Structure 1
Amino acid sequence: MFVASLLARFMHGPTKKHMGTAKRVLRYIQGTFDYGITYEKGKEARLIGYYDSDWSGSEDDMRSTSRYAFNLGSGVFSWASVKQSSVALSTAEAEYVSAVEATAQAIWLPFVLSDFGEEQVGATTILCDNTSAIAITKNPVHHHKTRHIIRRFHFIRDALQSGEIDLLYCKTEEQTANIFTKALARDRFEYLRRKLGVISTKHLKGRVEI
Structure 2
Amino acid sequence: NDPLLGVPIPEVTSEQSSSMASPQSNVQTNHPMTHHNNKWTKDHPLNYIIGPLSRPVSTRLQLHEQALFCYYDAFLTSVEPKTYKEALTQACWIEAMQEELSEFERLEIWELVPRPDKVMVITLKWIYKVKLDKLGGILKNKARLVACGYRQEEGIDFEESFAPVARLEAIRIFLAYAAHRNMVVYQMDVKTAFLNGYLREDVYVSQPDGFVDPNNPNHVYKLKKALYGLKQAPRA
Q: Per residue, is there more strand in 1 or in 2?
A: 1
Larger RCO (CA within 8 A; separation ≥ 6)? 1
TM-score (norm 2): 0.22
Q: Which has the larger radius of gyration?
A: 2
TM-score (norm 1): 0.24
Q: Per residue, is there more helix in 1 or in 2?
A: 1
